[in-house]
Amino acid sequence: MCEFAIMAAMCSNRGIGMNNKLPWPCIAKDYEYYTQKCSPTIKGKYTVVIKGRMTWESTKGLERTHPGYLNVIISHSKRDQLESDEYVNKVTDNLDTALIYANTLKQEGKCERVWVLGGQKVYDDAIHHPCCKKIYLTEIYKDFPSDTFFPPIPSCFKETGEAGVDPDIQEDNGLQFQFKVFTRTE
Ligand SMILES: NC(=O)c1ccc[n+]([C@@H]2O[C@H](COP(=O)([O-])OP(=O)(O)OC[C@H]3O[C@@H](n4cnc5c(N)ncnc54)[C@H](OP(=O)(O)O)[C@@H]3O)[C@@H](O)[C@H]2O)c1
């Protein structure tokens, strides 16, 4: 299995979703950050993005069709439907199988990085996985009604920041937020 990072945004009450959408209005600056972080930087290599079925269903536009992404979707119940989706590269029924697939692509030299992009069910598994080395978490400093939540960050992760990630409080669309980076230390 290969190393991966989590990317997520949460509001002050740890919400990440509501009715299978984001709980907050569009934050273009956070979307830009997400796209910049997840896009491949090496020509000819892909980014493997792993998502739960609900998150895939909520995914729209460039996030779905980005030519640099290989979409791996976790699902038990809707495999057939997902397998016939032209933008889904692989359907697996758990995170480990998704990571084994990503590792094969890495060994073939096709994959640059692996991201786990939610939702709650998938974050719950991923955050405790020993191959999870980093968490990129945007903290939005406001409460929003939510029905899905980001799990507590295990104590083996420390907030380290990262070169190139602005640690200052950001502002967009009337919201304040911060890009945080946590790194596994053991
Ligand atoms: N703020 C953020 O950064 C962020 C990021 C991503 C998503 N979200 C939000 O999160 C919400 C969706 O989260 P969610 O928890 O409801 O759904 P989810 O994790 O996206 O998808 C859940 C589905 O994935 C499959 N699945 C996940 N783990 C599995 C496992 N261990 N074994 C088998 N199947 C598994 C199942 O699909 P089947 O039912 O098909 O079997 C399950 O119903 C949405 O509101 C979305 O907007 C927010």
* pLDDT tens string 15-50: 999 999 999 999 999 999 999 999 999 988 999 999
Answer yes or no: are the C-beta atoms of 122 and 95 closer than 8 Å. Answer: yes
Q: Pick from 16, 19, 38, 54 the residue to mutate for probing ligand 1's pocket: most ligand atoms within 8 Å of its CB.
A: 54
Nearest CA to ligand 1 atom 37: 75
Residues lining ligand 1, judged by CB closer than 6 Å? 8-9, 16-17, 20-22, 52-55, 58, 74-78, 93-94, 117-122, 125, 148
**56 CA closest ligand 1 atom index:** 20
Please indicate, yes or no, whether the overall pTM of this predicted structure exceeds 0.75. yes
Taking the C-alpha atoms of residue 16 and residue 21, their distance in angstroms, rounded to an integer, is 9
Strand runs (DSSP E) across 12-163, as ranges?
A: 15-17, 46-52, 69-74, 90-92, 111-116, 132-140, 148-149, 157-159
pLDDT tens digits along 91-142: 999 999 999 999 999 999 999 999 999 999 999 999 999 999 999 999 999 9
**120 CA closest ligand 1 atom index:** 15
Distance 119 CA to ligand 1 centre (A): 4
**21 CA closest ligand 1 atom index:** 47
The pair phi, psi for residue 67, each rounded to 5°, is -65, -20
The fraction of the chain above a pLDDT of 70, given in percent, is 100
Nearest CA to ligand 1 atom 48: 16
